[in-house]
Chains A and B, each alone.
Chain A
């Protein structure tokens, strides 16, 4: 396997890129590189398991995500060939990550403020601690007073007000 593959590799590498004969000339990584990347991935898996036994408080999550991201970038760069690939594919991938970031940032910016800020500022009661089958976590009880909008709103107000008197 090795002698024939080495030859083919050299052929491809000297050929690749420059000659424009319309044929597919992909970069062919060496067996050594692939096995090396695999061993690095195993190493980082062991590290992430080991670190999970060390109590670092909230840092544990950050460390786990950083290690996972190192592993992910190894997979994307070498196993998925983005390093040698058409740069447009990398651009698409990075844009995808960017939008995932937007998804996280905007959503958590809302949900993480519900109990403290939204409760105080808007007077909404947010279900967080007391979760049961009727109250979806993160949902909130709308304020009792109905919206004032036109005659419909006015009628509602009368109906609601009636039983009190």
Chain B
């Protein structure tokens, strides 16, 4: 208790003396007192974020391993079942997500350069793309529900709604749609979370929390967004582009 108080006291005057470094930057309000320097704080945040992202990859790998198992068992079923997915919507959504990744990267770049207005604009474009992605996903899901292409016991294909001229669906096609809904559903939840976090970061940016010396929030959120993009880069060919 006493030692903690002592270190806190020791740090107090140091923060006030920031001008003495002679770099002309602002008094770093953003520097938490348990970090020595902004660089150290930034590196720590980045390492923490990467640990989280690696965990996310391992989390998603479960669904990819399940996909690998079932596809190697039932290759023909996967081919037949994937014909019911709309390639155009899938490809369109891929481009939307890739573009949103670009704007997320540009938001970080603007933040690094201290261009607050540009940062806000790029964040808003990214959020707009995320919403577009979810709207397209909604129309895709709507078709799957109408056609009865649902997971497990809910699988009841309705021939009026199936894609014309597509191959016959084998009885075990429900496995494909279980994987499809699980994979795109979890991914969709990540997109929705991304929208929420970006709205928060946009507000913080508008409030003036960030500068070219401190933009950790923008950087880490963009990293998360790129990961969401990364997962989709694999999901798109694996689900939509099977033969």
Contacts and interface: CB of A to CB of B under 8 A. Distances in A.
A5 B115 CA distance: 9
Contacts, number: 167
A11 B172 CA distance: 61
B212 A76 contact: no
Interface string B201-243: 0000000000011100001001100110110011011100111
A65 B242 CA distance: 12
A72 B98 contact: no
B94 A111 contact: no
Contact of A97 (B39, B57, B109): B57
A9 B113 contact: yes
A108 to B, nearest CB: 6
B237 A55 contact: no
Interface string A93-117: 1011101100110011001100000
Interface in B59-114: 61-62, 64-65, 68-73, 75, 87, 91, 94-95, 98-99, 101-102, 104-106, 109, 112-114
Per DSSP, chain A at the interface is helix
B212 A8 contact: yes
Q: Which of B46, B64, B95, B105 has most A Cβ within 10 Å?
A: B105
Contacts of A75: 101, 226, 229-230, 233
Interface of B: 21, 23, 25, 36-40, 42-43, 46-47, 50-51, 53-55, 57-58, 61-62, 64-65, 68-73, 75, 87, 91, 94-95, 98-99, 101-102, 104-106, 109, 112-115, 118, 153, 171-172, 175, 212-214, 219, 222-223, 226-227, 229-230, 233-234, 236-238, 241-243
Interface of A: 1, 4-5, 8-9, 12, 21-26, 28-29, 31, 34-35, 37-38, 41-42, 45, 48-49, 52, 55, 58, 60-61, 64-65, 67-68, 71-72, 75-76, 78-80, 85-86, 88-89, 92-93, 95-97, 99-100, 103-104, 107-108, 111-112, 128, 131, 133, 137-138
